Amino acid sequence: MSATDDPVVPPLLALAVAVLAISTSAILVRWSDAPNVIKALYRVSFTVGALVPLTVRDRASLGRIHRRDGLVAAAAGVALAAHFTLWFESLEHTTVAASVTLVQAQPAFVAVGGWLLLGERVTRRGALGIAVALVGMVGLSFGPAIRAAVDPAVAATGAGVGTQYGNVLALIAAVAVAGYYLAGRSLRRRLGVVPYATVVYAVCALVLLVVAVGQGEALLAYPPHEWALFLGMALGPGVLGHTVINWALGHLESHVVSVTLLGEPIGSTVLAALLLAETPTVGTLLGGAVVLAGIYVTASA
């Protein structure tokens, strides 16, 4: 399938399914007790495995990838590996609502990166959206530390520092995934989703494997329920989520995709409340609402 083929299913419907799928990601990560780099490694590796039949069928497309496009796709894979590692670690230190909202702030970083690296113009509306999103990000990220500073009871628990650490990791993960999107945005105009995703995910898995071995993590000694979670991360958020989003980018304008992805923090927050008994605080909801409003304005601009 190439990026210019007529879509078999309506792109907006596919995008809605993708958002529902990626909303489960944080829940699956939280349920797993494996090291974060291992979770990321098998999520990506199983995703590559699921794409193998399509890759074999479309192997001629892989041979047509130019060296420069291959290098850009490899850079996207490295950025994606950094994103997964940082975000999974973030979920151990802060709430699902805060982490997912902050990591979904990537459209603001994409806009800034496009302006700095690609010379893309940022409109006044886009600049306003970035400013609003940044205000929300600062409030959401450092609100716990501020509360700890003014409330001795909160400071005694150490929750403010730990939560802030998780929030900062989520922000860095957002920057990493913005780099992934910037690297891959132009490629999807020339490459079909199968060869693009295969190269990016394969590089990502290789980077994660090197990190896991370097950290001395066990690669196989995990109980059956962990393997089920790894597979769920790959088939749900991986194949039905990010791969479908990559496909949609070939048929829809990028701002439509970015705005639709704002549904992920909402879906993840609802699932966390239902499945993890994790009710977000009023501060988290307010800060998250400001971030999402800023992202909406940025993406729609």
Domain boundaries, the chain: 11-300
Angle between helices 263-275 and 11-22 (to 10 degrees): 40
Q: Which helix (H) or strand (E) holds 238?
A: none
- The DSSP string of 167-234 is HHHHHHHHHHHHHHHHHHHTGGGTS-HHHHHHHHHHHHHHHHHHHHHHTT--SS---HHHHHHHHHHI
Q: Residue 59: what pLDDT?
A: 63
| Count of residues in the chain | 301
Q: CA angle at residue 179 from 258 to 123, to 5 degrees?
A: 55
Give the pLDDT band (50/70/90) at residue 169.
very high
Q: Which two tokens stand for residue 110?
A: 């994409």
pLDDT tens string 180-218: 888 877 676 666 777 778 888 899 999 999 999 999 999
Instruction: Please choose, from the candidates 261, 183, 201, 286, the residue with its C-alpha nearest in 3D space to the C-alpha of residue 25.
Output: 261
121 exposure class (CB count in 10 Å sphere: 0-12, 13-18, 19+): exposed
How does pLDDT run across 20-79, given as a tens digit for each residue?
Answer: 999 999 999 999 999 999 999 999 999 888 878 877 776 666 666 677 777 888 888 999
pLDDT at 45: 93
